[in-house]
Structure 1
Amino acid sequence: MINTRQRYEDIEARSLAPYAMKSGASRGREYPETEQEYRTAFQRDRDRILHTTAFRRLEYKTQVFINYEGDYYRTRLTHTLEVSQVGRSLARALCANEDLAEAICLSHDLGHPPFGHSGEAILNKLMADNGGFDHNKQSFRIVTKLEQRYPGWPGLNLTYEVREGIVKHETKYDVSDSQSQGFDADKRGGIEAQIANMSDELAYNAHDLDDGLRSGLIEPEQLDDLAIWQMLKDSIGWDGRHFTEQIRHQIIRRMIGIEINDVIEATGAKLEGLDLTSPEDLQRLPYNVVVHSDHLEAMNHELQTFLYDCLYRHYRVVRMAVKAERVVTQLFETYTAESNQLPPTVQQAIEHRGLPRGICDYIAGMTDRFALEEWRRLFDPFQRP
């Protein structure tokens, strides 16, 4: 037996919930293409995203710790893969389209610049008079304009639903701007987009706690007042003494499992009383359906506040952030002062996008490592250009 695209589409029609998006019902691509025989449109989108330059660069872009801090901490790439794993689990359990959810998860951070949120904040400041900078919008620009992989069109020519999911990516740190990108601002993201949003928050809460404990910037005793920490300790039967690497693994593994189960159960309860006959019915609701239970939502909020105060604002992390801001600022300013320092391909792009945006795109595409090396080439007199 061979699985063809038609067979996959038939399976989706029979097995997915009414509110799930079926690949056979996609609104299609901006530039017409013949779909492939053995992959659905969303599977094809997922694969296109995986093969982009922007996706590969995520390996050397900061999550919390700059790449040179150590090989064990999360990067944007490992974060993205963890988000994708959570997204697939949630989509499968909620009878949503797993391929669509995965494609949105894999693309959600493509537009992140080097040095994490510090890099984004300083680029936004530097571009204040030229449209600003937002990594969500940059992700959309990458898949629709900046990746030049096909002779017939700019970008990846992804389906409408994946592009909509990227635009409508929303978390505590991300705000969507649907209208400016040509999407209906009165419609929420579909269930697959909501799953990607939830997966992002769930993953970074867990792995930032893990990396904080691994790095020693967070000590287990600091967490004793948090309700979620006490619940996790009790769930694995740990008395709080002799914190080992194995205990840390158990805690984080249990945390992810509890969080996923809670989302499945709370979302299932939310959906149960609704008469949804199509994906659009779900998108027209005045609230998201992919949610945590109230009690776990409160625990997560308490944890996020702790992580902000004790990890993201830890003096060592702040020092890294300040260094990053200095590097990005000096790169931007020296390129602006003399654009002939830029590679020919970037100079050509500037002719079409303008000087500020062309420079911003170039810096945003850099990895942490490349940005630091470029800074040395430009400012260290003993470094070869």
Structure 2
Amino acid sequence: MNIRERNQSYEDLTLINQAKFSKDTLGRKCHELEDDIRTVFMVDRDRIIHSKSFRRLKHKTQVFIQTSSDHYRTRLTHTIEVSQIARTIAVGIGLNEYLCEAIAMGHDLGHAAFAHVGEAVINDFLPGGFKHSEQSVRVVSKLEKGGKGLNLTAEVIDGILKHSGLNDTNNIPITLEGQVVRYSDKIAYVNHDIDDSIRAGLLTEEQIPKHLIDELGNSNSERINTLVHDIVNNTVKNIERGNNKVSLSDKKTQALLELRSFMFKNIYLGNVLKDERKKAGFIVENMLQYYFGNPEKMPVMYRNIADEEGKERAVADYIAGMSDDYCLSTFNRIYIPKTIVY
């Protein structure tokens, strides 16, 4: 028995029957010999963490707030928080925490520069639309490693693709671990975005509806703790009743959705950041148009995509992969004069 097989035997001892066992994976698109030490989901996690797309998350916006302070979340720290919450829930239920971790680490790799503002602009530009969840799959399946992709397992790719939309009953992940990450993403961003918004002076504790404070807690950590305990306890009850479904209780689901709606109204789509969203959208729009008109300015891989799949697809891939910082610096290089013109 090698070390990987020993790790797989630990899964037999610690995971519930409804978990996804690494030895039972649906496999990879291209067959590979298994690692002697790591299970397939550990390998997927490591490939994602060591990818260029993952490193770029450190300079991608979580919420479009001026990140002059080191204490604001970025897309990278959001990803780490999602992973932490997902692993805690997985251990509480008896699911495969390494599968949860791999999905969590890869779920936002396809987010564009300037978060959902960039996503909305690219969605209008690209025929067929643009969704960051689909782009995340494209990143790990095609764009990484110079066009080779990371060759991840089917379970991880499914979890990445279906991590958005709690109310979409037609888009439920095939594994309970994927469902855990789906909830963990919402638990993480709703709560840490409140924390960042208060720090930025865009929101006050008093503005948060009192009945939601009473239901979930009076701080970021209290609310996360409440939701994590609820989802573990409620899911265990679901499974005991023969309903293999990850879910919060009805009361906590309603509270989380209300808190999310509150954030959309007041922060994500509120007037307080309206001007900044316009600026970000202007930059992304002009970057898209510039490279659409000058595809030869893109790196070779994207020029090849333009030949194979069309210029819109290639330009969308290139701009979506940019960090905020790189997008801004490139915009300045293209559009801002460097010397006085007489």
Say whether the 8 Å CA contact 2:83–2:104 is kept in structure 1.
yes
Tell me if 1:207 matches 2:163: no
Say if 1:381 and 1:177 are closer, same or farther in 2 by CA, change over 3 A. farther
AA matched with 1:252: N
Tell me if 1:154 matches 2:154: no
AA matched with 2:253: E
Tell me if 1:259 matches 2:227: yes
Q: Could you tell me which residue of structure 1 aligns to residue 213 of structure 2?
A: 229
AA matched with 2:324: D
Say if 1:89 and 1:340 are closer, same or farther in 2 by CA, change over 3 A. same
Query: By how many angstroms is 1:322 displaced?
Result: 0.8
Query: By how many angstroms is 1:192 displaced?
Result: 0.3
Pairwise CA RMSD: 2.3
AA matched with 2:54: F
Query: By how many angstroms is 1:352 displaced?
Result: 2.5
Say whether the 8 Å CA contact 1:217–1:314 is kept in structure 2.
no
- 1:153-212 CA-partner distances (Å, limit 9, x unpaired): 821111121112122223259x6987xxxxxxxx74210000010100100111011111
Query: By how many angstroms is 1:70 displaced?
Result: 3.2
Q: Could you tell me which residue of structure 2 aligns to residue 321 of structure 1?
A: 277
Say if 1:327 and 1:169 are closer, same or farther in 2 by CA, change over 3 A. same
Q: Could you tell me which residue of structure 2 aligns to residue 273 of structure 1?
A: 241
Separation of aligned partners in 1, 2:242 and 2:339 = 64
Q: Name the TM-score, length of structure 1 as normaliser.
A: 0.83
Structure 1 residue runs of 5 or longer lacking an equivalent are: 179-186, 236-250, 276-281, 283-288
Say whether the 8 Å CA contact 1:226–1:303 is kept in structure 2.
no
Tell me if 1:89 matches 2:88: yes
Q: Secondary structure at the match of 1:147?
A: helix
- 1:90-118 CA-partner distances (Å, limit 9, x unpaired): 00111111101111111110100001111
Separation of aligned partners in 2, 1:371 and 1:167 = 25
Q: Could you tell me which residue of structure 1 aligns to residue 164 of structure 2?
A: 170
Q: Secondary structure at the match of 2:145?
A: coil
Separation of aligned partners in 2, 1:295 and 1:83 = 22
- 1:110-167 CA-partner distances (Å, limit 9, x unpaired): 100001111101100011xx22211111111111111126xxx821111121112122
Separation of aligned partners in 2, 1:143 and 1:4 = 27
- 1:52-102 CA-partner distances (Å, limit 9, x unpaired): 111111111111135644322111111000000000000011111110111
Q: Could you tell me which residue of structure 2 aligns to residue 44 of structure 1?
A: 43
Separation of aligned partners in 2, 1:160 and 1:59 = 26
Separation of aligned partners in 2, 1:293 and 1:144 = 35
Q: How many aligned residue pairs are there?
A: 340
Q: Select between 294-303 and 344-353 the one with higher mean Cα deviation.
A: 344-353
Tell me if 1:219 matches 2:204: yes
Query: By how many angstroms is 1:345 displaced?
Result: 4.2
Say whether the 8 Å CA contact 1:377–1:383 is kept in structure 2.
no
Tell me if 1:144 matches 2:100: no
Q: Could you tell me which residue of structure 1 aligns to residue 176 of structure 2?
A: 191
Q: Secondary structure at the match of 1:327?
A: helix
Say whether the 8 Å CA contact 1:202–1:256 is kept in structure 2.
yes
Say whether the 8 Å CA contact 2:141–2:149 is kept in structure 1.
yes
Q: 1:330 aligns with which of 263, 286, 304?
A: 286
Say if 1:379 and 1:86 are closer, same or farther in 2 by CA, change over 3 A. same
Q: Select between 134-143 and 296-305 the one with higher mean Cα deviation.
A: 296-305
Query: By how many angstroms is 1:382 displaced?
Result: 1.5
Tell me if 1:120 matches 2:119: yes
AA matched with 1:325: G
Identity of aligned residues (%): 38
AA matched with 1:162: V
1:53-132 alignment, distance < 5 Å = 53-66=52-65, 68-127=67-126, 130-132=127-129
Q: Could you tell me which residue of structure 1 aligns to residue 19 of structure 2?
A: 20
Say whether the 8 Å CA contact 1:17–1:96 is kept in structure 2.
yes
